[in-house]
Amino acid sequence: MPGDTLHINNKATSQNTFDAIVIGSGISGGWAAKELCEHGLKTLVIERGRNVVHLKDYPTALKNPWDFPHRGELPEEVKKNNPVVSRCYAFREPTLHFFVKDNDHPYVQEKPFDWIRGYQVGGKSLLWARQTQRWSRYEFEAPARDGFAVDWPIRYEEMAPWYSHVEKFAGISGNKDGVPNLPDGEFLPPWELNCVEKHIGEKIKENYKDRQVIIGRCANLTKPNEIHLQQGRGQCQARSMCERGCPFGGYFSSNSATIPWAAKTGNLTLQTDSVVHSIIYDEKKDKAIGVRVIDAHTKKETEYFARIIFVNAACLNTNLVLLNSVSNRFPNGLGNDSGVLGRFVAFHNYRGSISATYEGFEDGYYYGRRPTQAFIPSFRNVFKQQTDFLRGYLGYFGAWRGAGNGEDGIGANYKEAITEAGAWEISMGMQGETIPKYENHVRLSKDLKDAWGIPQLITSVGYDENDGKMVKDFLEQGSEMLEKSGCKNISGRDNHQAPGLDIHEMGGVRMGKDPKTSLLNKWNQLHACKNVFVTDGACMTSVGNQNPSLTFMAITARAANHAVEELKKGNI
């Protein structure tokens, strides 16, 4: 059999037949496994990468800077060989083993696109920035209201209980802020803003009726509840080393939470080093019956069978799997009667950034680290169209003090000087909503294949005029807010980073009401193949301005529970 199998359900594994198959073990795949296994379904999770066991397989988690040959920095040779992934902020010497290197899985960039990937059990849930905001009614209603993409087939009211469901299990810290377009959730105690961040927040509140500063909501355990202790997780130590894997289980990942929880049921089989080639469609039964898998090392092909299949390979790989799942019934990809599979891929616009300084609070400081920042929820086009661009952006910022003396020196006076805190510095960034467009797409290469004989993916995703206008507005409004807060030396820039580096790509297998213009129904089932579900970023109809992972998790939990109900009724 392909790869390294964790035999939790030996009989089902030996027969290659299961109740459910989940493709991918990342943040959404882990949730699909948890929900399905809890409901008694014998579930196979197929992961293309290696096994990573919580605690056991975090080799750099407890290392000091001096334990690394390059003190944690990337060697020049690594940068040279990995021009794409080395642009990611988290790709550093302590985390090299959790990222896909550029040559490991090549793809074709028709337009510049930085595809950041993590192929291992847990996927990018080991590496994510853990920011978790709910969508509101205004995001789910936006396409219909503003006339883009297609109407979402679900609304916030349907999602709210599932947000609560995943928040309680994952553990989300935050305040009850009362922001209409950033609904409150099931929160653990929040982290704290420092004195300059609080000051900026007060000034923004004084000067703007539609804006406020909040502490970021994040999936780090400030005060674990009983459910988190049952998972074996402990309080976040604020080490700011999350992407190495947390030995305390202080942040949520598939490895620390959902995968072990699924395993405890006895219903999970975890199959690693197994690259999914395609989904097998039976034309006589008019449904999918299994998955074709290639061993990552031997290249041996094996087929696995199940009554339902969840595709959670991460957005672009989910598109790739479905595009490569061809048959007489679906010559252009599984479920692709509409012709929009791989189309309307969107992402988050991170191009704008602003730096500034603040004179004052010289007697104020802060201590320790913090796994989140200050946030300014979106205030553009929230309740109605106000600007010459569609949709809006949230802002995030932090204030800190560096060393007091950056000059070269020697001796006691120099040592004393550098122990003093310097002036306050502020950094602000944007996270903007991009509009899904037909032209922004991925497709399969007709000529190039990867090491497993699967067509390489072609990415053709870019910015448009709307994105440029949004960046300009952020730079103007962000600079104005900092100026009114008393900041100095304000400087904004557009970094023009390529799409993909935001690591929030979404779409291509979008939800919708009409099978003629979408792939998935309101329960994340393929319109034309009801026993296949897609619940990762690929399913998104639009992208909102919030960090997306919480919505992926909630959508997955909702769809998995519906799948169980439909199985019981004999509908799929």
DSSP state of 258: I
Report the SS3 class of residue 21: strand
CB atoms within 10 A of CB 111: 14
Here the tokens at position 185 are 């959730």
Mean pLDDT to the nearest integer, 4-10: 47
Angle CA 150–548–510, to nearest 5: 30
Strands of 165-263 (E only): list them: 172-173, 187-188, 214-215
Band of the pLDDT at 405, cuts 50, 70, 90? Answer: low
Quick one: pLDDT band at residue 1, thresholds 50, 70, 90?
very low
Longest Cα–Cα distance in the chain: 83
Three-class DSSP category at 67: helix
| Residues 275-300, mean pLDDT to the nearest whole number | 98
Instruction: Encode pLDDT of 235-255 as tens digits.
Output: 999 999 999 999 999 999 999
Write out pLDDT tens, residues 20-67.
999 999 999 999 999 999 999 999 999 999 999 999 999 999 999 999
pLDDT digits (tens, 9 = 90+) for 145-172: 999 999 999 999 999 999 999 999 999 9
Tens-digit pLDDT profile for residues 503-536: 999 999 999 999 999 999 999 999 999 999 999 9
DSSP code, position 189: P
Summary mean pLDDT of the chain: 96
The Cα 11–Cα 18 span in angstroms is: 10
CATH, range 5-174+217-347+434-462+499-569? 3.50.50.60
- CB-CB contact of 29 with 262 (8 Å): no
> Which pLDDT score is estimated for 2?
57
Q: What is the CA radius of gyration of the chain?
A: 24
